[in-house]
Structure 1
Amino acid sequence: MVLEQAKTDKDYSKLVAHIYQASDFDFVGIALQQPYYPFLIKWRFAAGNQSERFRQIVLRRGFGIAGLVFRTGKPFYNNDLSEYSISNKLYTPIASVESLWGAVAVPISTQSGAVSAVLLAGYRRQQIVSAATVSRLIGYLND
């Protein structure tokens, strides 16, 4: 879906910093999947983070926001992330650790179409996210 823009760690770091500075998001992060079994997903880059606890979050494909976006290759957005408990498949540890109320996540894909990373942006306040927010976030990838 989304073009491969960031190819190195430096590019991902610059992308996160640019979106955070140019937008009103309270948190911006990128999760990457390990290239080897068990293909764990970890949040590697962030801006606006409250602590470094986000680095300890480990997900699998299909679980949490990043896992869901990796599995489906489709954007995700939600305005009440607190509704998901730890027993729910959509439990969002990043939302819990970073106190996010609403968030939007989009895949970053390679030219072959495989999802290589997930870009997430969120709010700690009651700011509505929608399909328009998804489009705005994708726009940053195409800058």
Structure 2
Amino acid sequence: MGDKKLAADLAYQELVRTIYQQEDFDFVGIALQDTTSWRKIHWRYAAGNTSQRFRKIILRSGIGIAGLVIRTGEPFLENDLAHHQYAGYMSQPITLIEQLTSAVAVPIFDQDHLVSGVLLAGYRQQQRVTAHSGHVLQEYLQPFQ
């Protein structure tokens, strides 16, 4: 079990690094559901992060962008995060900590087709995310699903 987890950790870290290097996003991160409690979601991997504060974020299903994507299984896309209906630290801590102005997030599905995590990418400047941005992220996830 330990070798499998280590391999997954390395693969996810390499995935965020690859997306960050090959695409033009300012931040790329992955949040995963805790294996011991399906109600807890942690941001575990990131590239382009401004600090390690993202690691301290613990969400519940339905809270924050990651919680919303995990709960609904649907992508999230927003180009004006500061004025989004759920703006604020309690609702979107990752966007505030990383100073993101726009973001796109897509669900990560496990082998049983259940949502196990979220891949998020965003910008700090006034760049827009589009449905195409979400498709790009989903393409990167293909080998994992």
TM-score for the superposition, normalised by structure 2: 0.87
- Greater mean alpha carbon deviation, residues 54-63 or residues 38-47: 38-47
How many corresponding residue pairs? 134
- Judged with a 3 Å threshold, the aligned counterparts in structure 2 of structure 1 residues 125 and 56 are, in CA distance, closer, same or farther, namely same
Pairwise CA distance, 1:86: 4.4
Moved more, 38-47 or 95-104: 38-47
Which protein has greater RCO, CA pairs closer than 8 Å, 6+ apart? 1
Matched, 1:12 2:15: no
Match of residue 3 from structure 1: none
Q: Which of 67, 84, 88 is matched with 1:85 structurally?
A: 88
Which amino acid in 2 is paired with 1:77? L
Amino acid at match of 2:103: A
* Counterparts of 1:75 and 1:45, CA distance in 2: 19
Percent same amino acid at aligned positions? Answer: 54
Deviation at 1:36, TM superposition (A): 2.2
1:140 matched to 2:140? The reply is yes
- Structure with greater helix percent: 2
Moved over 3 A (4+): none
1:113 CA displacement: 1.0
Deviations 1:100-119 (A, max 9, x none): 00000001101221011110
Matches within 5 A, 1:1-143: 8-37=8-37, 39-83=39-83, 84-86=87-89, 91-142=91-142
Q: Which runs of 5+ in 2 are unaligned?
A: 1-6
Structure 2 counterpart SS, 1:45: strand
In the TM superposition, what whole-angstrom CA distance separates every residue of 1:47-66 from its partner, at most 9, and x where no partner exists? 00000111111110001000
Amino acid at match of 1:69: V
Distance 1:99 1:142, change over 3 A: same
Per-residue Cα deviation, 1:59-118 (whole angstroms, up to 9, x for no partner):
10001000001101111010111121346xxx2100000000000000110122101111
Listed as ranges, the gaps of 5+ residues in structure 1 are 1-6
**Counterpart in the other structure of 2:4:** none
